[in-house]
Amino acid sequence: MTSLYLWFLFGLPALWLLARTMRPVRGRQLLFLAASYAFYLTFGWRFFVILIASSLFNFVWGGVIRRTPTARMLWIGIVANVALLSVFKYLPSLASVFADSTGLAARVAHLALPIGISFWTFQGLSYLFDQYRGEQLDPSLTEFLLYMGFAPTVLSGPICRLPELLPQLRHESRATWENVVAGARSVWVGVLLITLGRLLGGGWNGQGVNWGFDHVSSHLPFGDTWLLLIGYGFQLLFDFAGYTRVVIGIAQAFGILLPENFRRPYLSTTPSVFWTRWHMTLSFWIRDYLFIPLATVRREVWWRNLMLVMSMVVFGLWHKASLLFIVWGTYQGLLLLAHRLTQQWQRRNGVQFSGVMGSVSSWAITFVAINLGWILFRARDWSQAGDLFRSAVNPFASGASVLPVSFVVLVVGIVVAYFLIEGWAERKGESHSLLARLPIELRFACYAGIFYFALFHTAEPQSFIYFQF
Amino acid sequence: MISPLRAARGGVALAVFVLALEGWARLDDHLTYGAPLTGPYNAEILYTRDTLGRVGKPHARYRKWGLNEAGFRGPELEPDRLTILAFGASETFGLYEDEGQEYPRQLEHFLNARIGRDAVQVVNAAYPGESAYTADVRAPEIVDRLHARVAIVYPTPADYIWLPFLKPKPAREGAAKVAEPFEWRIADRLRTFLKGILPQRVQTRLRARETRIAESGFTVMDRLPEENVRRFRDDVAHLVQTLKARGVAPVIVTHANLFGNGGQERDRAQLVAWRKFYPMLREEGFADMERRMNDALRAVAAEERVPLIDVAASMPGGHQNFADFVHFTNRGATLMAQQLANGLYPVVENVMRGPRQ
């Protein structure tokens, strides 16, 4: 955490000044690359070596595919990337089963996961896919290394694509004061979200969502269970969306626009809409490079439906090699499938649920279904998942509430505020502009609050939830 | 060119930002600790002054530190238990340990576990900055009030580096109350935050610079004068005599520190940090001071024929046990309490067998 703060306080302003004054594009690219690598090196040189190896392999193999765009070449590239990911992400879980028996298994079980590997491996894969599809991509080695290791995105995305990033890297410097102001606003909003996420996680006095899942998650009454689940859903959203907003803001200050990752996901009225608003860059990656190519292999409807579910299984597996995540992915796939089948049934029978009631009930079903799914995402084991699921589906589960009043007030307050603010912004069609609309004095008082809580309530060495993926 | 109006609005916004930060800090204190929104909020709110000097306010609370009805850190006192007083300074009061982990609390737990029932209570009679001299001034009043029968004496040698520090400050009758200056709570928080993120090397340099500036007000010594050691020895001896005269069984405890037995200067950064509080003594003088002061404690114990628990010799140093140069971590406080319980148990057993006063 210390090095992150130092990067923020001293590294970024110095880098911005250099980037602003540096005219040659290549010089600026080298500057960004050096800074990105210096940043990533603070997490350990072993991780750095793996990032370099992956980047070099994908760069070279992308060239091979461009010259020989055959399925075989693409498959070699896919297998190599998936193998690298598997060694660090999936093999340790597998080896831990045999860890007691052999020394090698024990060593593998303790392999550290290079931070961000899931994100930059998918970036490498999308480059190979794009080359196979014949996209006109000719990055230099520096540009490709920067694409893979770009400091703002290297830790936890958003997952970028070279066709979006390359023109920006080649453009003359856009590190302007206007971009700094716009980026700073984004960072403020991100910090606010992260702070809210941490507040939900830790509670005001240590009794937050984390405490709830660790201490009281068995035999909870119905209301408590849902408060805990909704609290976790918002903690996850704020933590990851906040992080992404900070990253987008930092890149924006340097004149580089990164793709959005979240767009008011809890306002979604169907699961399909939800997955176009939650972790969008991964969702779209899965859609473009997995679902569409697989679904179009055969014409039958059952095949397309199967591929839909399979794609979401991969989505779950991307997070972690655990049965809970596989089932979570399957659950999300089945939700999408159920939505699709319902739509088809409605079309066939001419049934329409329109109007406010239709929208509200559709939103409520989606909200409940998505939050129910977080049980699988958060539970530490099947036993806890089972307990939570039983309490969540039994409105008659009686018993006095065990959650402290401060927790209830926190969750309800944040959720109500979220729907009021985001609902308003959705209606107005504006993004993150509420702060900007306030008078400057009031805005600075809000900034002070965000600054204060970010510094003194989130400065504990807690990591972001998505760093573990 | 920025227009004057825009510049003025920017200035106002900046002022609003700073004031709002202070407001948020106060609201946070209020919600987290029940601190007052206005007025001062620092460790001083735990104490008041009477004719004997500094004394704890009943039920005062500052952050994790809370005082009981009798004005001492810890739980409320039980009338039927054997009372053991723990005299000392911030090391005894507890700074870095979690609430309830300071060594007097743990000592009580270990002793009761060994006795097999809740027979004793350890009263944390220390406060940060207390010297053997101020403890001696206050001891009769505490002993009489709490009917204590055993006392641990764990004095801080560093208080005797500069003898003028030792003058107690009793309340002056009829003195006009001086208005407290405005306290920026946000400044304290930012300082602590910066301390947390700045690399150790930078912090050490800043401390050394601060010490160099502070040096100008003093005659800097390489070695603690013999007079100071003698004064320490006399004050501890007098405290022991005071306690004995009131029927209390004193037990002297030598002073442990981060550098361990032998006082080797393994951690220069911590020596610099320590010296910041006592700029008149050079870093090299601290280990020597601890050694001589502990010898003085051993001598007092021998002369006064009171038990000595030599934790300076037996307590391992290092950052696992010490959060800074002399203050314990949770683990260090546990080790300290275990060693004290071992040394104290025979004394307690003896007192419990004897007639009740």
Whether chain B has a CB inside 8 Å of the CB on A409: the answer is: no
How many angstroms separate the CA atoms of B187 and B196, rounded? 14
Instruction: Note the pLDDT of residue A22.
Output: 85
Query: For residue A444, which residues of chain B lie inside 8 Å, CB to CB?
Result: 13-14, 16-17, 20
How many angstroms separate the CA atoms of A397 and A391, rounded? 6
CATH dotted code for B60-167+185-353: 3.40.50.1110
Whether chain B has a CB inside 8 Å of the CB on A340: the answer is: no
For residue range B42-66, list pLDDT tens digits in order.
898 999 989 888 999 999 999 889 9
Residue where the block lists tokens 């004031």:
B19
Query: For residue B18, which residues of chain A lie inside 8 Å, CB to CB?
Result: 448
- Say if residue A106's pLDDT is above 80: no
Check the CA dihedral A45-A47-A53-A58 and report its sign.
negative
Closest CB to B13 among A444, A453, A457 = A444
Residue where the block lists tokens 């405490």:
A211
CA distance B131 to chain A (A): 34
How many angstroms separate the CA atoms of A279 and A311, rounded? 15
| Strands B82-88 and B53-56, sheet pairing | unpaired
Whether chain B has a CB inside 8 Å of the CB on A8: the answer is: no
Q: What does the domain layout of chain A look like in residue ranges?
A: 2-173, 179-468
For residue range A73-91, list pLDDT tens digits in order.
999 999 999 999 999 998 8
Contact B20 A455 (CB under 8 A): no
For residue range B301-328, list pLDDT tens digits in order.
999 999 999 999 999 999 899 999 999 9
Nearest Cα to A32, choosing from A49, A11, A2, A50? A11
Task: Let me know: does A460 contact B193? Beta carbons within 8 Å.
Answer: no
Residue where the block lists tokens 């054997």:
B82
For residue range A298-356, list pLDDT tens digits in order.
999 999 999 999 999 999 999 988 899 999 999 999 999 999 999 999 989 888 877 88
CA distances from B26 to A452, B32, B65 (A): 11, 10, 18
Query: Is the ipTM of this structure higher than 0.90?
Result: no
- Say if residue A464's pLDDT is above 60: yes
How many angstroms separate the CA atoms of B338 and A227, rounded? 44
Separation of CA B103 from chain center: 12
For chain B, how far is it from start to end, CA to CA, in angstroms? Answer: 84
Contact B21 A452 (CB under 8 A): yes
Count CB atoms within 10 A of the CB of residue A332: 26
Cis status of the peptide bond prior to A24, with omega within 30 of 0: no
pLDDT range class, residue A219, cuts 50, 70, 90: confident
Closest CB to B16 among A1, A205, A441 = A441
Task: Specify the amino acid at residue B267.
Answer: D
How many angstroms separate the CA atoms of B154 and A330, rounded? 64
Whether chain B has a CB inside 8 Å of the CB on A4: the answer is: no
- Say if residue A461's pLDDT is above 50: no
Q: Which has the minimum average pLDDT: A259-268, A272-281, B212-221? A: B212-221
- Say if residue B136's pLDDT is above 90: yes
Task: Let me know: does A456 contact B189? Beta carbons within 8 Å.
Answer: yes
Q: Which of B98, B186, B197 to mutate to test the interface with A (most CBs of A within 10 A)?
A: B197
**Angle CA B124–B129–B134, to nearest 5:** 75
Task: Specify the amino acid at residue A344.
Answer: Q
For residue range A109-148, list pLDDT tens digits in order.
778 889 999 999 999 999 999 999 999 889 999 999 999 9
Q: What percent of chain B has pLDDT over 70?
A: 93
